[in-house]
Amino acid sequence: MGRDEPSAESETEPPAPPFTLRDAEQIVRRLAPALHEHGAWVRRVHTMLICRTQPAAEDLYPVGERATELALWFRDEESEYIRRHPQYAEAEASYREVRSLAADLLRAIADDVRIAPADYGAFASAVARFEENMEALISGVWMLLSATDPLTGIATLPALMPRLQQERDRLRRTNNVCSVCMIDLDHFKEINDRYGHAVGNKVLEAVSRYFASRLRRYDQVCRYGGEEFVIMLPNTDLEAAVPIIERLRSGLARLPVILDDGTRLTITGSFGIAPLAPTGPVHASIEHADQAMYEAKRAGRNQVRLWQEPRTTG
């Protein structure tokens, strides 16, 4: 039987939240000028420290007392992925440290007080830490995008395959269970033909958000291609997978996809489930789920079917 809770091994890799190319572009659009402003400010601080020129009044306050572009970005960023990234909190903390240390140094300049080398060294180290944290954060964004379908924001098949292979290897070691589900949206070509590809893309985005929001946090969904999706269900045998997938199927049929003119589209899918085999290539298990999905198509669509191992005749 499947279980509601994953093992510690599978729990360490929760599915990534939906994150699209548009999300990344919005982050870069706001973050780039904020980092540019910060870089110009750091250069100005170094100039004041070296030349002992009087600082401006706004440079004498820590970041909490002045709304810099970067401080506003840290405060207002809404991306769940960014805020969950371990470097996000570290970058924000190191940025506040940079501003606080700089304010102390510049107050010393304003008061004509000698600056201790150790104090300047602490500021320089804080600047370096902040830059390293931001570099890691930005690299994480682009790494996620490389494994993310740019339209829907969920994983691509090349990103899911290593996860499936790791799960297969775990099954081999632990004698645990895992199910794979293949989904094909019903009559999707008719939607594209009647309403156009822009509407078809809107449907794919809505369906992807729905799947990602309804699965358990240790499951994984990917866009297989076109209007097809694959879901990995760790620690779940076929018997336990059926109600999970059945809830997805029935919920999908009620998913509100409303066009600009008020037209409401009804979206359904055909679902096929197969066990992830602990031996052999992963794509064979996906093919079994695909076969079950086509059984659902032949049975009338908008259904869930289980893969049946072919009977051997003796």
Catalytic residues: 227
Torsion sign across C-alpha atoms 5, 212, 220, 231: positive
Closest to 158 (Cα-Cα) out of 145, 172, 171, 176: 145
**Separation CA 242–CA 304 (nearest Å):** 8
Q: What is the dihedral sign for C-alpha 43, 45, 51, 55?
A: positive
E-only strand ranges, the chain: 155-156, 178-185, 220-225, 228-234, 257-258, 264-265, 269-275, 304-306
CA distances from 80 to 86, 93, 273, 304 (A): 12, 18, 30, 32
Interatomic CA distance for residues 141 and 139, integer angstroms: 5
Give the CA distances from residue 123 to residues 75, 94, 105, 296, in Å, rounded to whole numbers and listed in that order. Answer: 23, 10, 8, 64
Q: Are 292 and 273 contacting, i.e. CB atoms less than 8 angstroms apart?
A: yes
